[in-house]
Chains A and B, each alone.
Chain A
């Protein structure tokens, strides 16, 4: 099961030249700076760029190749655009019905009541888009796309036009979609936070070309990509809730390379949780220091070093029994405690962000 896409498109000065094979399930983030060609790639996949030369097959079905171009309305996909694109002459319910009614009954695999409940939009259905907030409109747009029973969901910066509060309101819904529906999603974004939270796979675009691609855990720990130069560079760790500590209001998350204590979470033991550890929150010590206020200590081996964005710092990539971790330390510390590939250190992790 995979999505094979190869596109060439010339648009004035801009040239898109992409050849990727993406997983046919889960969330694939298409990440890059403005003008990298993220949205154009998405439009090519949707069939909205007729000028694009290319080949596209989605889980075995050919949508485009030499001599064949399936028009947009014949592609079983759903698209959610950045700004709300609800039909203003239809109510919320009318918008939802638009795609549903045009989906042959035999192909319908998404239940109206379930979507309405999942996205919490029941009270919005009788209202016109005019009277809805940005976040409410995006929820309706998501539901509308889902109800057309797409085999591929394309999201073009669906949160970019919303303020922080609205983003926080929509993200949990996107996560629920991810767990509930099996359809693959292509998620265009320039927000590392959204990538860390939602993505399983990451495609990094630069200047219309694919710079790198791979599972998100691996991609975020690579030092040769621009991702590591960002101030909020860091890794994501998929962990399992191991236990709760009622006395200290903590929960222990375990992952192959060790475990992390975090503020007590709601998930029961055994539940999977993703967390993010930023490189700037990780420090290295030779000795296991029990006298520190930092509770999270993980043993790891240095794999490689690379220059950081500032000349005062250096990025260190470490391996904790298969789990990659990043640390950003000063050059001075690196020289003082001799941080070199092959050496083992204790990682003191000052903060862990729970993503789900």
Chain B
């Protein structure tokens, strides 16, 4: 049913979702932690910026990223100079774009999870001789694991459905930046509804299975009394 090109597009999509999710989880952790602990005045501005990708049209996001990461852009030019090369029309560029696109979907669950733990248990850990890093790793992280689970699933699923940012960043190079959503768009443009259908249905089934699995795992976690 699926042509080799479509399979390649699917692979690129999964790879993009996996890589962005892992990087995002790691990089968003300190940000979410800081937001959950700080009373600094700049916090509201940071929160607003983090939420921005949620409300902006993805094309706006993609447009500015193109300007920023392209060969003439401030970030792209620097990367050119140091020999890495600009990020427009590349898989790395898509990873950066996806991470920004999915940022609020990771930061918010993590921030909420950290905030829900509160300060008392961290204080208790301190009185039991745990250093700040120790407290974070042995108390805050394990207690936020539901938040991590939610964040990872949302980031992954959100990236699977990404279209606007990618098309702006030049995502139509087979095997490099052509993801499933772009391939579907191409098929429709070419009036090849059969191929569009096959790929689209594959995405629907895959997403459904993924989410069902997640909810099932979540439910089981609750019913056997795993502490929250």
Which residues of A pack against B, CB within 8 Å? 46, 48, 71-79, 81, 85, 87-89, 98-99, 102-103, 128-131, 144-145, 148
Chain A hits for B228, CB < 8 A: 88
In-complex Cβ contact of B128 among A89, A131, A148 (8 A): A148
Q: B121 to A73, Cβ gap below 8 A?
A: no
B140 smallest CB distance to A (angstroms): 11
The answer to whether residues A72 and B126 also contact, given A81-B120, A87-B121 and a CB cut-off of 8 A, is yes
Size category of the binding interface on chain B: 20 to 34
Question: A96: shortest Cβ distance to chain B, in Å?
Answer: 10
| B→A interface (CB under 8 Å) | 120-121, 123-132, 134-135, 138-139, 142-143, 225, 227-228
Q: Bound complex: CA of A87 vs CA of B228, how far in Å? A: 10
Q: Among the listed B128, B131, B134, B227, which residue makes an inter-chain contact with A144, where contact means beta carbons less than 8 Å apart?
A: B128
Across the interface, A73 reaches (CB within 8 A) one of B126, B139, B143, B227, namely: B126
Closest 6 CB pairs of A and B: A99-B128, A102-B129, A72-B126, A88-B227, A79-B127, A85-B124
Contact A89 B129, beta carbon cutoff 8 Å: no
Given A87-B139, A88-B143, A130-B227; A79-B129 close (CB under 8 Å): no
Residue in B120, B129, B227 whose CB lies within 8 Å of A103: B129
Residues of A within 8 A of B129 (CB): 73-74, 76, 99, 102-103, 148
Residue of B nearest to A149 (CB): B129
Interchain CA distance A71-B121 in the complex, whole Å: 16
Which residue of chain B is the closest to A48 with respect to CB atoms?
Answer: B123
CB pair A89–B227 under 8 Å, yes or no, is yes
What is the CA–CA distance of A73 and B228 in the complex, to the nearest angstrom? Answer: 25
With contact pairs A85-B121, A87-B121, A89-B142 given, residues A102 and B128 touching in the complex (Cβ less than 8 Å): yes
CB distance from B130 to the nearest CB of A (A): 6
**Is A77 in contact with B227, judged by CB distance below 8 angstroms?**
no
Interface pair A46/B127, CB less than 8 Å apart: yes
- Min Cβ gap A347→B in Å is 46
A81 touches B124 (CB 8 A): yes
Return chain B residues, CB-CB under 8 Å to A99: 128-129
